[in-house]
Chains A and B, each alone.
Chain A
């Protein structure tokens, strides 16, 4: 079974509008971390934001925020005021912490969502 599901293979958003990229996850580990990465056409993966499973507040980093709904096992990325430079692939990822540092503590990636920002 997939541990990270990104149901939107592609998304369009108008410049300056907000956009939400969906991510749901599956784990029985009580301790885990959720990540979002951006991959522009250059190929480099860029870390955006992190949310720990015990964090009480939703994570925010500038124009990025993570809408963490633990009971629903969702960790959607919200980008406010989209810019043309936000056009990229976006990957949601999860690390299960219990076997921290061992082979079961790998970062597991979803298949990605391609975001296109229209001028």
Chain B
């Protein structure tokens, strides 16, 4: 089975801190994604990557950056955390075929910025 692992389940940080959220997948998937999930808003795409060192902005990239130095690892970076970045962060990976795409998600990181 595909496994997507997020390094922390819960994280508490202070305003202004630099925050790293790590995600690792073990199935050699090309595509990796970072979403944030907020009540009443569903999942919103922050960034995604379809290859090593490649990245694309999603719907809400402001305040975030990403790094993909190795295929299996996709990191989300909050350069200077703010309280409005308190949220559940979900990492996902996928292997796209011509007709289908199934995302495999990690179990999420609940980030609280105080």
Contacts and interface: CB of A to CB of B under 8 A. Distances in A.
B67 to A, nearest CB: 18
Contact of B105 (A44, A101, A102, A106): A44
- Residue among A102, A103, A110 with the highest chain B CB neighbour number at 10 A: A103
B58 A45 contact: no
Interface residues of A, number: 26
A47 B99 contact: no
Contact of B56 (A35, A93, A95, A103): A103
Given A45-B90, A52-B100, A106 B42 contact: no
Interface residues of B, number: 30
Contact of A106 (B59, B98, B106, B110): B59
20 contacts: A33-B101, A35-B101, A35-B102, A43-B88, A43-B90, A43-B107, A44-B108, A45-B43, A45-B92, A47-B104, A50-B100, A50-B102, A52-B100, A91-B42, A91-B43, A106-B59, A107-B103, A110-B42, A111-B40, A111-B42
Interface of B: 33, 35, 40-45, 48, 50, 56-59, 88, 90, 92, 96, 98-108, 110
